[in-house]
Structure 1
Amino acid sequence: MVLLLGACPEYGCLVYEYMANGSLDDCLFRRGSSRPPLPWQLRFQIAAEIATGLLFLHQTKPEPLVHRDLKPGNILLDRNYVSKISDVGLARLVPPSVADSVTQYRMTSTAGTFCYIDPEYQQTGMLGIKSDIYSLGIMLLQLVTARPPMGLTHHVSRSIEKGTFPEMLDPAVEDWPVEHAMHFAKLSLGCAEMRRKDRPDLGKVVLPELNKLRAFAEESMSPMMMFGLRTGGNGGGGGGYIPRNSNPSSSTHSDTSDLSGFSGYESRSSSSSQGRL
């Protein structure tokens, strides 16, 4: 989570720690001068970091905290492209009286950003921790495609069915590991299922799978990426990236190149509906 340094209630202003590379939205869509595309290794690492931060929110005691506005604009990146979740201004604590698997809370009006809002929450006002999982799924699809969120689940699922998935990957990255990227996309589609009950559990399924992909990404970093490249710590104008230290609390660094048992999630939706703490 991004560090909150102060606040000014009179003007509704929050002050956060400085995040040199702006938002994930800026980086994916390369806003700003001379922004290089994010390597796929960094994208896999960022995905696992976001899921880790989100699980932290969902495991707050005694009441889970639902973010309600997860999107690339609310994910901030520091000088080494380590990601942090921000903007929990719409977050809500949900009552602990219901089991975690069905935790929900009725809101009189939905909040969030169009295309990232859980369809069930939009239709019923019933808020739960899996409302954030839908938003996470859309954002993860954007990580590998660098495309707008509108209709993205439909386009990605159709490309998988038609065998044209590689065409959906961000063309700015030339060395995608297509098989692993497809596993990533299938997991993302599972998160973005229309029905809340069809979405996988964040702590038991989503984060472990993303940690496997993060470990694979770290093992796949080339010597050129490991040494001698400049960090983009000047806010996006740098010429390259340096790797981050592995998170000791993440998955183990066992051999993850064989992901034959990692089937991902096939989307059951025929169409889709559609960052600062």
Structure 2
Amino acid sequence: MNFIRTAMLLAAMTALFMGIGYLLGGTGGMIIALAIAAAMNMFSYWNADKMVLRMHNAQQVDERTAPQLYGIVRQLAANAKLPMPKVYLINNPQPNAFATGRNPENAAVAATTGLIDMLTPQELAGVMAHELAHVKHHDTLTMTITATIAGAISMLSSFAFFFGGSRNNPLGIVGVLLMMIVAPMAAMVVQMAISRTREYSADRTGAEICGEPMWLASALHKISGGVARIHNPAAERSPATAHMFIINPLSGEKMDNLFSTHPDTQNRINELRKLAQRGMGSARVNIDPQPAPASGPWGRRPAQTSDRTRGPWG
């Protein structure tokens, strides 16, 4: 059902983009709009992952420089039957994480140093399992395409001001003004709806990958509190990437509404608790409580706990 809904939302966004092209230049304008969308998507397909990682100053790490994080991702990737992704760390105190890449063979997962510092190893495993679920579902490509089309819609809407639309616009200048205002808002609503749909799906699959839904539930509770307290300048400079993070890095979300990039965190936690109550609770990740010290600059360790996560969720 989520796949069908996502496909329908993508089709709606593409139709909106082509419709704006038609109103601006008739049939020729629609064809040009389609060509622009194809070119932008092709560029995004090959380069978006590098651009996003560069925007957030992510540094690639390995088993020597970040042994625990790398080891957790390696186990989870094996559980999910995925190729080992590249692993990145972002020197940022806000706890957060995201995945990127055009396909599982060219994927990357990134976590902030704030996430590493705040979470237990079990909670960290829950978060990285969620990000690998996005890779498994090809969500990283889907969200890249939606962000690209949304940007193109805003660009075309701005062109309407300069070119005044075409005779295909029955409302004349009023139609042009409406296009400039309504079209970008509609694109944003569709983009955010797709993002919310994919987050719920990734939560469920991530819980299956790590085997413990409450690890992720506990992590979401901590991350949402950290995001609300800690400013993220890099995300503020690049708000178009906000939908990629596990929790919106720009502000704490309070409800599932049309303008939310993410579902309400408590709603996500409730869904994970339902999974746990249905019997999903056999951990599939062997977390070493005392990892070897890292030899590089990213040798940060999450707080240590027993095998079961401490706190209100463990």
Whether TM exceeds 0.5 here: the answer is no
Greater gyration radius: 2
- Bin for the TM-score computed over the shorter chain: under 0.3
